[in-house]
Structure formats: structure tokens, C-alpha cells
Structure 1
């Protein structure tokens, strides 16, 4: 729905000559950047939105954008404003020219009337002169003619006075109408000034947000839009956030520890006025984004908790609305923490954790003869493993929920075989750790012979286990671990070269919580822009 709306908006805004060619390019761009987060955060003005946006950026990679950023990055705002001013001046000049032409026309009509009046008077006088000559013999008629002439002159004088008064009244009415019209135009100009500025800003925001790096990484709108009108202008210009979050803080703690440094320097009354203005506009804003808005309750939280909670909501929303099922191949030496992290990812996002050792253990328990055949050399170990992993990844739960794969692939050939399956991994991450660090970590691993629980003597406290109940698992024997690490270490350069830009390298020595957040971002972020892997090349 949102994609079709964006395409329609682009058609209206850009007005291309070739619509088919434009739509083809737009569809390619939409497919390439459709997973990029586009977030709008709504909150009272005293909350430190920039800090929250920076935290979300660290998790999602989306860039925070403020109103000042749009103005600074838009190089054409001043030219646009000058063009609008020039258009207004041109329109005003046309109006002035029309008024001048109207005045000249009125003056010309007046002059024509005066000439007609003079001509009429001359004609009357000439007629009276002819009449006087024809009646020279009659004195009475002469006197009567004189009286009639005087009466006519008096009437002409009265008519002239009336005409002058009417012309003066019409000129006064025209001047009053022109003044009234000018006042109305000024009022209309004042009313249209703000929407015009909002429209210009919306167009500039569209141009900035549809350019790199915002188009490549996504964006987070921090302090705009403020009003319903501005939100509508942004939507008409083609700025459509895929997620809108309204932060709802505690009512009692309006100026608590979520307040920004800028708000702390303001007076309490100014903060309350800002909150009052925010409440007046929030309902229309919710209406403008009613299809994508989500309320996030942050009452009782400090800044760190709010940042984590908002980042979590963004990740979960991105994972829930993603058009793909996540399939992550998590590479790394034994001892890098890959299994623990995979279990945490499975618990957080509901994906299936597929571990090679666990799958083989379950298979050998169900089919003991298969293990004997492999040991006797009747079946090739690699072919069996490839078939087992493919069958597991094609199960209904993996197809519907996605998966995180650990312990496999271990070689380049195994990775190519994995890419040839119907559901190859769409995410690849490598836990970067040296073989020495991995060996050091695995040297302390023990398992409880009674409960089967695993412990690490280097990190767990003695209170959680009894040392006499612990033993080394056969799979954790130093010889077995060294062989596995050596095999992967030999193949590591070839795997990295084969994966290319589709591989995400993660530092495995960072704290576990930060490492988990990084892998969560790898799972929920759009896939890296990279050429496809070529298993047959």
C-alpha cells in the first residue's frame, strides 16, 4: 500500500515525460531500498529526541534528521524562495499594469465625453444662430428665443454639474474598491504565506531524504513535522515514514530526567507552554499517520531505558514487517560464543536455532546404524551432513520462521552446497576472534555428568556447580577442539573471499550484551548491498 502511494506521489511531483521508463526505475529503486527504516518519532518538545535518535541509529543504522539539517543540506531553498518572490513580483506588476490600463481607459472615456459635450454645445449654438437670423423681423419671437436660450443654458449648466458630481462619486467608489481589494489581497497573502513555506520545506525535505546517504541507510525525523498541515505537505511531497512512534512519558514527571539540555535552560512556564502546544497538535498528527502510528509508553523510564525500549520497538517492527524470512549463517570458531548468541537470537526473534552438533546428535540417537556406517566408511561424512542440514532447513518450522545456523558450513565446499539449496542464507556474520582466544575459552568448558548442564571454570562462580560433578565432554576434548579450529582457520580466508560484501564481521571480544545487540541489528537490518554469491562460478 505504501509503495504504491510513493509511486503515485513521485509521478505527480516529478511529472516525467516517459511514464513507463520512470516506473521501471522507481520499481528497481523501491526493491533495492524498501527495507531501509524510515522512522518518525513524536514526543513532547522537552524530551531529548536527538539522544534517542542517536541510540536508534546505533542499532538500525538510520540517520537522524532535524529541521536544521534539511535547511542546511538543501542548496536550492534560497533559489526556490527567490523564484517564488519573482513570480509574486511578476504577478503584482501584471496587476499594476492592468490597473494603469484601466485608469487610462477611464481617462480616455472621460475625454471623449467632454469632446462630445463641446460638440453638442456648438451645434446648439449654431442652431440658435440660424434661428435668430430667421426671426430677426419679430421682436417678440426674438425675446422668446433669448429666453429659451437662457433656459437651455441653465439646464446645460445643471446637467454639467450633475455629470461632474457623478464622475467624482464614481472615482471615489473606484478608489475605495481598489483600497478594499488591496487589503483583501494582503490578508490572503498573509494566510497563504505559511502554507507556501511549508510546501517549499516539504519539497526540500523530499529531495534531501531521497539522496545518499539517507536513501541508502534510512532516516529518522526528529523535530518535524509539528502540525497537521506540515505532515500533509510532507506526504504530498513524497515523504512517507514506514514507522511512526509516539512516546508517552509520565504525566507527573513532565520535566524529569528525559529533559534535554536545551529545555533545562528554559523556564518552567515556557516548557509548559510547549507541552500545551504539543497537545493541541498531536491529535491531528495522529490522524495524519493513523495507519502507521504506534504508541510507546516510556513512563517511569530513564534516558537509557527509553533508548533501549525504542530501539527494541524499531527492531521488532522491522522484523515483523520485513518481506523476507531471516536466514543467518553464523560463522566462528568454537569458543566464540556462537551457540549462546544463536539461542538468544532464537528467543528474541522466534527463529529456529539449527546447530550441526545438536542435529547430528539427535540423528544418531534415532538411527544408531548410521553412525556405525559413517565410522566404517560406508558413507561419506560430508555428503551425509549436507543432506541432513538441507532436510532440516527445508522443514516447515525453518521455512515459516527462519533460522540461525551454527557449526556449519565449515569449508568453502560446504558453503557452496548450502548456497545451492532452495533456501540459502540471506545474512552471513563472522564472529571475529583469534584461535588462541577461542582455545583459551574452550579449555574451561565442563558439563555436569548428572544434569547435562554446561559450565565454564574460567567465568562461572564455584557456587553454581560442584567440581566433583563436572567432567570434560568428548566433543570438548582439546584434541577435537584444536582440529575443528584448525579446519575452519584454514578455510577462513577462502570463506571471507567467497562471501565478499555479503559478510558482516563482528568483534567477538566485546561484551556479550553489546555483541547480541550487534547481531540483532544484522538480523533485522536490510541485507548489505552486494553482488550475489556464485557457488557455480
Structure 2
């Protein structure tokens, strides 16, 4: 564009298309790949990368000390996300791979694989078509800072890193109680998972390397390494306590890996606040408009004027917050058909009793115009209280009718706005605002991969 012709009139369709199709993130990812691999001919490289369409597949690293349950969590995530699990064991077991054979021989002799060989093996495996399409989960790798940096140098960048933690005393107790069935390979525990069958109990054996002294030594080595690994993943790291039921650990991990990280893309908020009368929509809209410079669009504007208003440049450039409209599914379809699609929708939920308390106790001083609330902001004198008046629309019967009308339509609106965020608005308004603000500045959580 010619800078001399500024200011430029930006059609509202442009930012909507860019946000809906993640154009900025796509270009950023392409640039990262170009800088990492530096292909001789960038155009075919970019075409091939785009054709893979795998920018959102799982790329997860799970770390943790011995007996923290990282392998179990990795396996559950792998099954839930339909991804590929990479462990030291299955890396070195690949058939017809020279690197895998070399690593297996080294592991059998020394119980470890050199970092350079291990990273080359990971790099080789991640080139497989299945790993490109379905992503991967690294279990317990990298083990050292050296490995982490080597992996990054090859352009292998996880999107989520989970570190499990627990007190050493808990981990030692877990580890020393492990027993294995040599016939089936099934793992049991003397305290937490002891088999009821006497014949299985009799043949259980203690695995090698799990004595208290050996476990303590492994924990010491882990602690030395993990503090140097963590700075390699400053913005994609989540620490989860594994000193809790395994199912709870899994759901915390699953929630995290299904959450998008903050994007550097320019973002123009188009916010829709839905909620019954008395839910605080107007206050929240005013707070958003004040803090972020959004254009506050009240519900009293009719459709034709509203459409014209949303197309003006301040709305296109700064964004907008709309409250009290649409009220039903037909209005939502009409708003959508005119090209005004909100990118954040919030439903403010308040129980009927709380709404009645909020509205029916409102009063106005006819002399000064001052507004009061008999519970939250009572009048200062009995003289003022005696002359206060209630607006007819705040009568309990009217409030109940409006609440009933809203909830008759809200179910269809919630189905229409499938990515809507529901918020408990029956709390301090500034707490509600913090939840709304968090929902705006953070990406919407992914339902599934």
C-alpha cells in the first residue's frame, strides 16, 4: 500500500479472514521453518510444508523423576490424542535402521545411549510420515541440557512441555514397592496395586535397579539435570504435581496440551456478552471499552444502525463489544449473515435469586437523580429513603418475565456460538472482568486435536 494515501480504509472482512484462517501464525511458522532448514529453493519447501497441514498436531515432551508416572501419563495422552509415543525402548527397537541397531548395541552394553546418537535417532524417527501426520510425545527425553539444545538445533520444537514432580520420599516408596510378573510383564505394587491371586503373588519379582539406594542415586542425577533443562522451554512449560491420583494428573496434562499458547498475531477483539437482565453485561462492556479502547455498542441500537456502526473504521481497527444483542437465534443468524462475527462470546450466568436481589432492591431519588440499592448502597438518611422510587421494570414480576424469556432463547444461542465461554457472574464484578479479560487475551482452548 502507498503510505501517502493513508489513512487506509480496512474492510471488516480482511481482519476476520486473517483471524479465522490463522494467516499470521501460518506466515510466522513458515518463516521459522525457512530459518531453521534454510532450503536452497524456498518455494517448493513452503508448498510441501503447507501441504502437510500438521501445524496443530501434538508435539509434547513429558519429563519427570523415576516413579513419577510419566510413562503412564505419556501412554494415556498418546491414546487419547491418537499420536505416537517415543521412548528410549521403542527408539532403539526399530527394525532395518542402522542408527537403531547401533543404539541398541550401545544400550545393551552400557545401559545408556550417547546423546549425539540418541538425537540423530529421534530426528530420523520424526521424519516418518506417521509422525508428521499424527505428531509425537517424547517420554523422558531430553535427559540433559546437552540433549535439549541438540534437539532444538535440529529444528525439533515441542509445543508443550510437562514436568511431573513429587517429594523424593514419595518417589522412593513408589519405586521400591514395584514388582513384575515375569510371565506377563504386568507391573504391580506392594502397597498400591497388589494382585489378589496367590499364584500371581508367588511369582512376582523385584525389577533390577529399584532399591532405595539406587533410586536415590537416580533422583540425585535427575535433579542435577532438570534445573538445567527447564530454561530451554521458558514459555511452554507446565509443572504438575504427581503426588495425587494418576487420573487427576492425566486430566491436568490433557487440559494443558489442548490449550493454545498466546499468539503474536494482531488481534482485534469482537466481543459478544450474553446474559439475563441484571447479569452485569453493561458494566463488563464498559470496563472492556475503558481498558482496551473497544467501541461499546449498547443494545438499544436497531439492526440497520448497528450494521452501519460496526462497519466504521474505529470498530474495524479497535474492535467492539456488543451486549444485549442478539437476543435470539434469528438475530444471531442475521448478525452473522451481515458479516459481523464475534471472535469471543461470553455467557454470564446468574441465579434467579441473585438477579431478583440485584434489581428489585434498586431505587432512584426523584429529587437528585441519585441511584441507590437497599442492600449494597443504602440511602444515607431516612428522609431520602422515604422518597425513593422503584422503576416499574424492576418489579419482581417483570424481572422474572425477562429472565424466563432470556433462558428460553439462550440454549439455541449457546448451540449457535459453539466456542462460547460460560462465566459465573454471581460474584464481584471485577473478578468477573478478570475472567472475561483472560478469555479475550488467551487463545480459545482446543476441543480435540
User: Structure 2 length as normaliser, TM-score?
Assistant: 0.52
SS in 2 for 1:83: coil
Q: Distance in 2 between matches of 1:328 and 1:210?
A: 36
Q: Report the equivalent of 1:418.
A: 335
**1:4, distance to aligned residue in structure 2 (A):** 0.8
**1:389, distance to aligned residue in structure 2 (A):** 2.3
Contact 2:275 2:347 in 1 (8 A): yes
Q: Distance in 2 between matches of 1:510 and 1:190?
A: 57
**1:441, distance to aligned residue in structure 2 (A):** 2.9
> 2:154 pairs with 224, 232, 236, which one?
236
Q: Report the equivalent of 2:117.
A: 196
* Residues 473 and 196 of structure 1, relative CA distance in 2, 3 Å threshold: farther
> 1:356 pairs with 278, 285, 298, which one?
298
Q: Distance in 2 between matches of 1:343 and 1:395?
A: 19
Q: Distance in 2 between matches of 1:506 and 1:206?
A: 43
Equivalent residues in 2 for 1:154-165, closer than 5 Å:
none
Q: Report the equivalent of 1:341.
A: 284
**1:333, distance to aligned residue in structure 2 (A):** 0.7
Q: Distance in 2 between matches of 1:336 and 1:422?
A: 27
Structure 1: stretches of 5+ with no match in the other structure: 13-17, 51-64, 93-184, 245-259, 295-314, 361-383, 531-537
Q: Distance in 1 between matches of 2:124 and 2:35?
A: 12
User: Structure 1 length as normaliser, TM-score?
Assistant: 0.45
Q: Say which is worse superposed, 221-230 or 500-509, in terms of deviation.
A: 221-230
Residues 1:262 and 2:179 aligned together: no
Q: Report the equivalent of 1:3.
A: 29
Q: Report the equivalent of 2:90.
A: 79
**1:347, distance to aligned residue in structure 2 (A):** 5.2
SS in 1 for 2:347: strand
Higher relative contact order (CA 8 A, sep 6+): 1
> 1:438 pairs with 355, 378, 388, which one?
355
> 2:274 pairs with 299, 316, 331, which one?
331
SS in 2 for 1:321: coil
Q: Distance in 1 between matches of 2:144 and 2:48?
A: 32
The CA RMSD measured in Å over matched residues stands at: 6.0
* Residues 337-379 of structure 1: per-residue CA shift (max 9 Å, x gap): 323333444456x15262525xx5xxxxxxxxxxxxxxxxxxx
Equivalent residues in 2 for 1:207-286, closer than 5 Å:
227-234=145-152, 236=154, 238-241=156-159, 262=167, 285=232
**1:233, distance to aligned residue in structure 2 (A):** 0.6
Q: When the two structures are aligned, how many residues end up with a matched partner?
A: 338
Contact 1:198 1:230 in 2 (8 A): no
Equivalent residues in 2 for 1:387-398, closer than 5 Å:
387-398=304-315
Q: Distance in 2 between matches of 1:397 and 1:263?
A: 57
Q: Distance in 2 between matches of 1:210 and 1:496?
A: 35
* Residues 196-249 of structure 1: per-residue CA shift (max 9 Å, x gap): 33455678899999888x99xxx9x9996851541441463542549x9xxxxx
